[in-house]
Amino acid sequence: MHLQSWLTKSVDWPAGRCMLHTVSRSVSAVFGRLWPYLSHPASITRWLTALSFAVACGMLALGTSILFDLRTDAWHRSEQASNNLILALSRDIARSINLYDLSLQGAMAALTEPALAQADPEVRHMALFDRAATAEYLGTMMVVNARGDIVAQSTSLVPTPINIGFREHFLVQQRRPDVGLFISRSFEGRLVNDPTIALTRRITNPDGSFGGIVEGTIRTAYFRDLFANLDIGPNGSVTLFRNDGRVIMRRPFRPEDIDKDLGNAETFRTYLTAPHGHFVGTAALDHVKRLYTFHQIGDLPLILSVAIAVDDIYTEWWRKATGIGVILLALCVASVVLCLLFRREILRRMVAEDSLKEAARRLSFIAATDPLTGIPNRRSFEDALSSEWRRATRAQTSLAVMMLDVDYFKSFNDRYGHPTGDEILRSIAMCIARAMCRAGDMGARYGGEEFIEVLADTERAGAFEIAESIRAAVIGLAIPHAGSPIGYVTISIGVAVARPLIGDRMASVVKAADDALYEAKRCGRNRVVLDAESEATLADLETMDLTGVHQPG
């Protein structure tokens, strides 16, 4: 009702109020029907158990989602870091090579000057080789004629008499006029005792014939030192390739890897599919699975690759995932254990409550039951009579009370003993219980050898009939009684019938039944007597054969 009122007051427009009113009534009806099931202790324990596991699963699902997000973030960070790193390296390498290429082009331009051949050797040397050719990691810059002989070099005014006509970079420029800037494989130079690569450009004669090359060398130590301080993880790698798959430099550095041909490797074939990109592959040199980021260096025939080992990418993530996972698992286990302990405590309390209810029921039964005969006691009779009296008062129906007493019971106990007398009382109680067929009827032990019954909605004739059936049933037991004139155990019954009104005393009908019982005793016992206020005439009593003696059998 509170939900319904709140929802109805929250909306002012008629259609909305009508809709919310219908929804709130439906929700209230559903909860009203489900609440008895949900509030049951057994249901509560089941719901608690289900809730604990749901919370644990929810925590695990949330934690797993967070961990996978962290894993994805770690991967994306590695991709971003690799992209930034490879761009910086590519720009550095491209700038250095382009500067050196400018020196080569300057030397070629100087060679076209006619006056240069007549100039002083020192002037000619300065014109051919500028200061860029003397930078760190740069080797000898030289001019080679068409036969492969060095005719000028940056390190000396007098060229070294060496022929390089067999070198790859000389032969390529000789055979391919359109090659432009060519970068050679790594080789051990004779002028510089260190692995180097050569950058060459073709000298073309005015008639278009091959006139030699201009060559500049770069020590591969430049690339090794450039890659040395990069943070790429313990299993990462940085590799500089020519576009034919030849390795110029690689980190981690191993001398045997330099100038190795990886043109047929799967990873290198992937480099040729696009100018830049990234993918996951296994290295051909050390068979480590890595995240590869590659980039073609400007317009140069070079490809740079930065590869971070997959295990290194997830190393930090695994450390975090382990810590978070342990904490989540501990929390989930703790929540489940606490809920199970709580459930066990609830079950224990339920068992204890059931035990208390059973004990209370037993105590209530004991308090309401006569211990000898097993039928209700006097207190139960008084409660039942009070309830039926109020009902009869409201409905304006009649109510009958019967008082029953065993005839000559004292002499029976004196002759046969009290245990036998107790058996007689139990047998009579069974006869009374069989006669109480309706829900509103009840028979009880009143005290000693006296019994009392209440009959709801019963008139005089019906009450008399039931009383006669009980008396006949006791005679039918055929229990010998030498102290009785009949020779068998009999009973006397007094019956009172009342139609109570508001203000009438309940005790009056009991007293009337007791008076009728006294009258039955006075009239000779073994009979049923109606009280005087029940308007039973003497002719009625004679018709009812109250004085008749029924022999057993």
Catalytic residue positions, numbered: 449
3-class DSSP state for residue 467? helix
Largest Cα span, the chain: 176
Q: Which whole-number Å values give the CA distances from 34 to 2, 51, 170, in the listed order? A: 18, 17, 93
At a CB cut-off of 8 Å and minimum separation 6, what does 235 contact?
288, 290, 309, 311, 312
237 beta partners: 307
Distance between CA atoms of residues 32 and 37, nearest Å: 10
Inter-axis angle of helices 378-395 and 315-368, to 10 degrees?
90
Which residue is it, tokens 């005793």? 521
450 beta partners: 405, 447
The encoded tokens of residue 60 equal: 């695990």
Distance between CA atoms of residues 129 and 107, nearest Å: 6
Task: For residue 450, give the nearest of 416, 483, 420, 494 by alpha carbon.
Answer: 494
Distance between CA atoms of residues 310 and 288, nearest Å: 9
Distance between CA atoms of residues 491 and 403, nearest Å: 10
Rg, C-alpha atoms of the chain: 59
Cβ neighbours, 10 Å, residue 550: 16
3-class DSSP state for residue 438? coil
The encoded tokens of residue 54 equal: 């749901």
The encoded tokens of residue 11 equal: 């909306």
At a CB cut-off of 8 Å and minimum separation 6, what does 370 contact?
376, 377, 429, 444, 445
In the DSSP assignment, the letter for residue 69 is H
